[in-house]
Each structure stands twice: as C-alpha cells, then as structure tokens.
Amino acid sequence: MKKIAIFASGSGSNAENIARYFKGSELLNIECIYSNKANAFVLERAKKFNIPTFVFNRTDFYQSEIVLDDLKNRNVEIIVLAGFLWLVPDYLTNNFTIINIHPALLPKYGGKGMYGDRVHQAVVENGEKKSGITIHYVNEKYDDGQMIFQAECEVLPGDTPADVAQKVHELEYRHFPEVIEKLVLSC
C-alpha cells in the first residue's frame, strides 16, 4: 500500500474528494494532510475522515526540515498538492514524487500568483474559448513540471469567472483521484 500526503492551503474540497475516493482502499492510504494555515477548512475536512493533520509555518517550511522529518516518519512516498499555494522547496522535490493540480490548461495562466479565481478571471478577460485542468509533476518552479494529464471545458460567451470555476471544479473532482490512482499503480 502506497502512503500519500496531501498539502492544502484552503478549503480542501479536492482533498476531501480524494479522501472520499480512496476511503477503504487497499491501494493507498492518506497518511496526513499538511497545511500552511492553522485555520484552513481542509483541517476540518480531514477530521471527517480521521486523517491526521500537520500545520506548519513559513519558517518551518523553508528554514528547517521539520516537514521533511514528519513525512519520512510517516513513510510517505507521494505528495499531492491540492490547492497548496507555496513554492515547494527542493528538499521535498528531491525526495518525493509530487504532483499538483492547476485550474487552467498550462502553460497558459500558470506561475506565481495564478491560482483560484485569479485564473478564471484571466481566462474570461482574455476571451478564451476553453479552460480546464492540468495535473503535473512539481519541480522548483511554479506550474512548470512535466504534464501528466489535461482535461478541458468550453468557455461560453457570457460565462463569468464563477461559471468557469464551476466547470473546472467538476473536472478536478472527476479526474484528480483517477490520475492519482493511475500514478500509484505505475509506481
């Protein structure tokens, strides 16, 4: 059984969807949910599934190895970023397979500061005809790692950023757990 960790900074809807998908799985176990925000709603979602949590601050993450030590103590093999907004340091990228989901069709609308509603706003403002999701490996740059999977949705004239967000969330919920499952099976 593979052991994974989920990193999230916010509400954690993708983390909950992943937890629900793999509940009772013999393929993988979510060992812990890590967050850089002590008040992130993802921590409440973790309680519903009896998943341990670990909260850290910027100093812990960038100037110590406390996060690395905890991951190693839990024997985590794969890290899944599900709405985690900080750049991942190389001490993690060098030690783990890490994947991320981005709410756009990379390479468009990626990079520092491009997350959540900011992405959807930019898609609408630029008159894009499609948007979607990109699941990719994580390296030392924002949204730059090798692509694993993309799925797209149509952006209709008159769609608001909220409309695009809803379509993108549907893609995230449908595909992210399946891509994780395929990745785990191939490891």
For tokens 């919920």, the residue is 173
Q: Which of 102, 136, 169, 175 is catalytic?
A: 102
User: What is the model's pTM?
Assistant: 0.96
N-term to C-term CA, the chain: 11
Residues 23-81 pLDDT 10s: 999 999 999 999 999 999 999 999 999 999 999 999 999 999 999 999 999 999 999 99
pLDDT attached to residue 187: 78
Does domain 2-186 bear CATH number 3.30.365.10?
Answer: no
Provide the token pair at 157.
């004239």
Q: Residue 121, class by beta-carbon neighbours within 10 Å (0-12 exposed, 13-18 middle, 19+ buried)?
A: middle
**What is the torsional sign of CA 81, 143, 73, 183?**
positive
Which residue stretches of the chain are H helix? 13-22, 42-48, 58-63, 66-73, 90-93, 116-125, 161-186
Provide the token pair at 69.
């030590």
- Helices then strands (H, E): number in the chain? 7, 7
Give the residue extent of every domain in the chain: 2-186
Residues 93-134 pLDDT 10s: 999 999 999 999 999 999 999 999 999 999 999 999 999 999
Q: Which residues pair with 161 in a beta bridge?
A: none
Q: Residue 27, class by beta-carbon neighbours within 10 Å (0-12 exposed, 13-18 middle, 19+ buried)?
A: exposed
Provide the token pair at 23.
């509940």
Q: Specify whether 169 is catalytic.
A: no
Residues 142-164 pLDDT 10s: 999 999 999 999 999 999 999 99
Q: For residue 24, give the H/E element and its range.
A: none
- CA 55 to CA 159: how far, in whole Å? 37
